[in-house]
Amino acid sequence: MPGDPLQWCIGLVGYGEVGRILAEDLRARGAARVTAYDVKLGGPAASPLCEHAERHGVELAVSHAALADSADLIVSAVTASQTVLAALACAPAVRPGAWFLDFNSASPGAKQRAGAAIDAAGAAYVEGAVMTSLPPYRIRVPLLLGGARAAELQPLLGALGFHARVASDKVGVASATKMCRSVMIKGLEAMVIEAFTAARAYGVEAQVLASLAETFPGIDWEHQAAYFFQRVIQHGRRRAEEMREAAETVREAGLTPWSASATAERQAWIAELVDRGELGDHADPQLGRSADWRVEADRILRGLKR
């Protein structure tokens, strides 16, 4: 493996929003070779991925194994439910001594199972917990690392442009930190969407906002609500998967995840409305981007009446 991380072959498992942002930033920083694999490459959604890869000089692999066979560093950035499956798919072909950075939002148990598969194959597994939304930070998003060799990987990631710090030498600590935070943050998203949309239906949003401003004077509820509606409408499916992993995290601690499970259902419900076209054209880049949450709440209410 080359000593300079920028000379590594970096393989991205998952070429969705996160994978493409990482690819752009790695190439812009001077990474010599970036490869990517996504299960969508074999279907009708492949065209925009291929166009993006060509535009940014990213090589597309034909399988998990083909990517793992050539990569010095694998970054797994798939949907939460695919965390363990992606690691299992890469493990048989992963190069001895290669790094595997698990970027996914998954429970500590899922990360430990993924790590066991990679470590058994002779590579070095490090969990990564992304602690806030990737945009606008992009590759510099705050990232917690965990695992026996996390401290060794941290400065190498820094050379690639990542902003990472070590949370623990044990796999699961970083993920537990993120998942417990998600119970709060994404739970608040779900509550705001539910409460504000219902308030809009009753015509009492002004009174509700005034009461919230009095109770929580430090929060700009107009701005916060617009942001929450935007994020859930644009990424509800992915957020629902993450919240199912958050629920599993709570369950692994011995608690019944009533709140986390309900949040997952609300996020998935919004995703279903989007998929059915109730909130606009799924291909529209402006979908869910209104600066006024009332616009999105009204779309949701209209969708319910159809």
- For the chain, the domains span 5-170, 175-305
> For the segment 164-187, what is each residue's pLDDT rounded down to a tens digit?
999 999 999 999 999 999 999 999
pTM of the predicted model as reported, rounded to 2 decimal places: 0.92
Q: Which band of pLDDT confidence, cut at 50, 70 and 90, is reported for residue 283?
A: low
Joined together, the tokens standing for residue 148 give 């026996």
36 pLDDT tier (thresholds 50, 70, 90): very high
Mean pLDDT to the nearest integer, 230-242: 93
Confidence of residue 286 (pLDDT cuts 50, 70, 90): low
| Confidence bin at 288 (pLDDT 50/70/90) | confident
Task: Compute the distance between CA of residue 31 and CA of residue 140 in angstroms, rounded to an integer.
Answer: 15
Which class does domain 175-305 fall in? mainly alpha
Computed over every residue of the chain, the mean pLDDT equals 95
- For the residues 115-120, what does the mean pLDDT come to? 98
Identify the residue whose tokens are 């070095």. Answer: 124
φ/ψ of 162, rounded to 5, equals -75, 155
pLDDT one-digit tens code per residue, 84-108 = 999 999 999 999 999 999 999 999 9
Instruction: Calculate the alpha carbon distances from 26 to 21, 119, 247, 259 in Å.
Output: 9, 25, 33, 37
Q: What is the band of 281 on the pLDDT scale with cuts at 50, 70, 90?
A: low
Edge-to-edge order in the sheet of strand 59-60: 59-60, 33-37, 9-13, 73-76, 99-102, 124-130, 142-146, 163-168
Joined tokens for residue 26: 């790695």
Is the pLDDT reported for residue 284 higher than 80?
Answer: no
Spatial neighbors of 100 by CB under 8 A, at least 6 apart, are 73, 74, 76, 87, 90, 94, 118, 123, 124, 125, 126
Give the CATH number of domain 5-170; options: 3.40.50.10310, 1.10.3720.10, 3.40.50.720, 3.40.50.11820. Answer: 3.40.50.720
The H or E element that residue 113 is part of is helix 108-120
- Evaluate whether 5-170 and 175-305 have a shared fold: no
